[in-house]
Amino acid sequence: MAIDYAAIGKRIKQKRIENGLSQEKLAEMVGIGPSHMSHIEGGTTTPSFEVFISIVNSLNCSADDLLMREVSVAKQLRHNWLTKLTEDCSTKEIKIISDIVSSAIETLRKNQF
């Protein structure tokens, strides 16, 4: 399966716009020239791994957001919601929450709710 660099470039551009960044500003944050960023977004240049990771960090997103062909928005929103809800919980609290949720799912599936 071939990697669709044009699609990745489009997702980078979309995230950049969502973050309110100009192409020049993102290039500056990443440490590359504006024309290099333009070529990455256009899919004509393949970013190095270091540049890609810098783009991910600068856009405050996950690599999956940029690499995945089909990202399930619903799963992503659920994950973001749960992450925000539990971000100040201790490891012990997270374990308890995980156990409660696992038990609830098991009960729901047994009773076919």
- The residue range of the domain holding 104 is 73-111
Structure tokens at 111: 């009773």
Give SS3 for 105: helix
Same domain, residue pair 47 and 78: no
| Half-sphere exposure (Cβ direction) of 24: Cα atoms closer than 13 Å | 0
Structure tokens at 63: 């690599």
Structure tokens at 65: 């957001």
Q: How many domains does the chain have?
A: 2
Q: How far apart are CA 7 and CA 75, in angstroms?
A: 21
Same domain, residue pair 51 and 77: no
Instruction: Say whether pLDDT at 82 is over 60.
Output: yes
Condensed to tens digits (0 to 9), the pLDDT of residues 6-25 reads 999 999 999 999 999 999 99
Instruction: Say whether pLDDT at 69 is over 70.
Output: no
pTM above 0.85, yes or no: no
Q: How far apart are CA 95 and CA 36, in angstroms?
A: 45
Same domain, residue pair 84 and 39: no
Q: How far apart are CA 40 and CA 5, in angstroms?
A: 8
Which residue in the block uniquely carries the two structure tokens 């996950």? Answer: 62
Condensed to tens digits (0 to 9), the pLDDT of residues 40-55 reads 999 999 999 999 999 9
What pLDDT score does 86 carry? 84
Same domain, residue pair 56 and 82: no
Residue 72 backbone phi and psi in degrees, to 5: -75, 110
Q: What is the mean pLDDT of the chain?
A: 87
Instruction: Say whether pLDDT at 74 is over 70.
Output: no
Give SS3 for 86: helix
Whichever domain contains 48, its CATH number is 1.10.260.40
Same domain, residue pair 15 and 62: yes
What pLDDT score does 27 carry? 97
